[in-house]
Amino acid sequence: MSETTSTIDTTTDRALKAKHRAMWALGDYPAVAIDVIPELGPTLVAATGVRAGDRVLDVAAGTGNAAVPAALAGAEVVASDLTPELFVAGRQFAARNGVEITWEEGDAEALPYDDDSFDVVLSCVGVMFAPHHQIAADELLRVCRPGGRIGLLSWTPTGFVGELFRTMKPYAPPPPPGAQPAPLWGDEDHVRALLGDRVTDVVAKRQTMTSDLFASPEAWKDYWKTVYGPTIAVYRFVGDDPQEVAALDADLTALATRYDRGTGSTTVMDWEYLLFTARKQG
């Protein structure tokens, strides 16, 4: 069982999870995963040492950014996500790579698996969006066998995506009581505190991926506001106020401009993430 006793109201939590599921079904997250951040999953799988014969769980798997490379490494993989609408693209992604994955709907804060079920538990910019961090961390550990590995890749609070969420916050509805900011999972001290002395062999590295797909900061903003669920949700929240929409447009464009280090016809941005691996105490 989890190390934390939940005092969260069940009805309120169910409504929150329904909103999260709907948010990630907006736009075209498969395009983000496959076209914008494809390197992240393989990076996480390699760092966690996934190998043939491992039983692997990819938590908040989305379209299989980590699940597919884990399967390519020879592992038996279960991909779990709160938003099963993403599994259509995930199955296509797996088929293109010639691997089979078990896709199962599941809440990262209440994983539908027995204790000690997996050799490796992964999450690639996924579990970080579960609203109650300690509960999610306890679940990751619960389903990992003693001596098994945990691998997490999360956007940092001070990097581009952390800044993105900070930029959108004034335009977004207030978070529900008890919900924690997703980019905290990109803070090493925060993750260490969540896992505590239940893990050993911790390795935490800040790394960056480079985005160079967009011709200009404006082009990135126009793309992101149509494909990325959290951004779409914020635009919908202010959609009846043209001035707020224009201000959000300007703020997002300014953010991308600030990070742009391109010198030609392409916007080049470095997006920082925390790569965190550990072993569950045996």
pLDDT, tens digit (0-9, with 9 covering 90-100), for 202-227: 999 999 999 999 999 999 999 999 99
Dist CA 25 CA 98 (whole Å)? 25
Is 149 in a helix, a strand, or coil?
strand
Dist CA 94 CA 81 (whole Å)? 15
Dist CA 267 CA 215 (whole Å)? 6
Dist CA 108 CA 111 (whole Å)? 5
**pLDDT reported for residue 7:** 55
Task: Tell me which CATH homologous superfamily contains domain 10-210+271-280.
Answer: Vaccinia Virus protein VP39 (3.40.50.150)
Return phi, psi of residue 269, to 5°.
-130, 140
pLDDT at 109 over 90: yes
**pLDDT reported for residue 1:** 35
pLDDT band at 138 (very low <50, low <70, confident <90, very high): very high
Is 159 in a helix, a strand, or coil?
coil
Q: Dihedral (C-alpha) 140, 144, 146, 147: value to the nearest 10 degrees?
A: -100
What does the pLDDT average to over 95-100?
A: 98
pLDDT band at 264 (very low <50, low <70, confident <90, very high): confident
pLDDT, tens digit (0-9, with 9 covering 90-100), for 224-256: 999 999 999 999 999 999 999 999 999 999 999
**Residue boundaries of the structural domains of the chain:** 10-210+271-280
Is 120 in a helix, a strand, or coil?
strand
What does the pLDDT average to over 5-27?
A: 84
What does the pLDDT average to over 52-73?
A: 98
Dist CA 122 CA 135 (whole Å)? 16
Written as one string, the DSSP assignment of 238-274 is TTT-HHHHHHHHHHHHHHHHHH----SSSEEEEEEEE
Dist CA 111 CA 113 (whole Å)? 6
